[in-house]
Structure 1
Amino acid sequence: MTNAPLILVVEDDVQISRVLQTSLEGAGYRVAWAATLGAAIGEARSRQPDLVLLDLGLPDGDGLSLIPQLREFSVAPIVVLSARGREEDKIRALDLGADDFVAKPFSIGEVQARIRAGLRRQRQATYAEPIFRFGNLRVDLEGRSLRRNDEEIHLTPTEFKLLLTLIEHRGKAMTQRFLLNAVWGPQSLDQAQYLRVYMAQLRRKIEADPARPRYLKTETGVGYRFVPED
């Protein structure tokens, strides 16, 4: 257990915290707990967790304010757990630097799946390979080429840049604003049609059935999620 990933649970509801701690420890994780924003910052700085589960409704402030504070010194994935189901809250959390968002009430199975995805994405970012494979597709990140089996698939420079951004943040829910800024720059944040057009083009070139995408998933009201291991 000493080398097991450390999960910091930031949650003021003692019952929910106990359920999370019991289930996560049962799954082999180490668990730290904080019930306030102040305690969470202290725990995060001193213990350097591998992932943070963050509730937004905390007694000393909005959990959203903790996300940029954590991002000042930590790249650990942040999974928001909240009773707020509004799309605006999801988008705000993701734009601030969270990696994922799970609405309450949630199942322990879903939370554990999001934790596994976040930790896996972090490991893949740390040990990046020049070749990325998913399904029967092979992406040469350095040579900037895409092949399906032995057939090369032509991508425009913008399509490839969008694909690289999706690969870099695979498994993460990405807002439209995030993708627009990463691919087209801050001057294009209100040009959502760019993203829709190029995502449709990528789906036609990558997906077996673009109308029912396997890899390039839509996050309704938020943006997109690239799921290469689906």
Structure 2
Amino acid sequence: MSLVLLADDDAQLRMLVARALTGAGHQVVAVADGAQAREQLQHGGFDLALLDLVMPGESGMSLVKSFTPEQRPTVLLMSGMTDVGPRIEALNAGAVDFVVKPFVMAELVARVNRHLAQKVQATLVDGGIPAGPVVLHPAGRFVQTPDGRVDLSELEFSLLAYLARRAGEACSKEELLTDVWRTEWASSTNLVEVCVARIRHRLGPHFPVRTVRGRGYCIDA
């Protein structure tokens, strides 16, 4: 089941889209403005974000531009604007699609399904990165465990892949914030701990990361 973030200040449209996506088998977190959307995205875990272009708090365009490719989930923007300019800007900023309102609900769901399926199809040419008892597949952004496949958000996968590529090394919290989050957050922030906890929850007994007291996190070589 894919986890989708839906952000739109139109309550009725938000309800209808959430209902349609849930009916298509997706888990949906729906919020009403850009500030709430940013808060959810910072926690990570989303496979796809469906964002309104213009919202209170912060625009969908601003959200797309503010995240690095490593942090950004698959993003579709929605807008009632028919001008081609914002669409081109959105795609250049990193959005994978732009949907013009009003739209046919079945078409929107089909677009969401297509973009989610592309991650799976990409795994056919993906060699994989070993990490203890699991194998990371970057193209599809999933982890193959002895019990099966586990999908991760872009941020979760980026953190795990970073540690896997430096197997045998203890990576400090500051290194991870700089190299994975691409930010200079104060070391007192708990972003790393929260992300590690989410990965641990998803992978369960196959979680390959070890905490090295006083030094950081490590995946054994």
For residues 70 and 128 of structure 1, the distance between their equivalents in structure 2, rounded to whole angstroms, comes to: 26
State how many pairs are aligned: 127
Counterparts of 1:76 and 1:114, CA distance in 2:
15
Deviation at 1:124, TM superposition (A): 2.7
User: Which of 66, 82, 88 does residue 69 from structure 1 map onto?
Assistant: 66
Change (3 A) 1:82 1:50: same
Give matches, 1:55-94, under 5 Å: 55-71=52-68, 73-94=70-91
AA aligned to 2:79 is: S
* Alpha-carbon distance in 1 for matches of 2:89, 2:60: 11
- The alpha-carbon distance between structure 1 residues 12 and 79, as it changes in their structure 2 partners (threshold 3 A), is same
Report the 3-state secondary structure (helix = DSSP H, G, I; strand = E; otherwise coil) of the residue aligned with 2:125. coil
The list of structure 1 runs, each at least 4 consecutive aligned residues, that deviate by more than 4 angstroms after superposition, is none
Offset of residue 84 of structure 1: 1.1
Give the Å deviation of 1:123.
2.2
| Match among 104, 108, 111 for residue 111 of structure 1 | 108
The alpha-carbon distance between structure 1 residues 110 and 75, as it changes in their structure 2 partners (threshold 3 A), is same
Match of 2:34 in 1: 37
Question: Counterpart in 1 of 2:121?
Answer: 124
**TM-score, normalized by length of structure 1?**
0.52
Check whether the contact 2:35–2:58 (CA below 8 A) recurs between aligned residues. no
Amino acid paired to 1:37: G
Note if contact 1:71-1:97 (Cα within 8 Å) is conserved in structure 2: no
Percent identity of equivalent pairs: 32
Aligned to 2:174: none
Amino acid at match of 1:39: Q
Q: CA deviation at 1:45?
A: 2.1
Q: Tell me the amino acid that sits aligned with residue 26 of structure 1.
A: G
Unaligned runs of 5+ in 2: 128-221
Whether the 8 Å contact between 2:8 and 2:14 is mirrored in structure 1 is yes
Is contact 1:78-1:100 (8 Å) kept?
yes
Aligned Cα RMSD in Å? Answer: 1.8
User: Tell me, which stretches of 5 or more residues in structure 1 are unaligned?
Assistant: 131-230
What code does the residue aligned with 2:91 have?
L
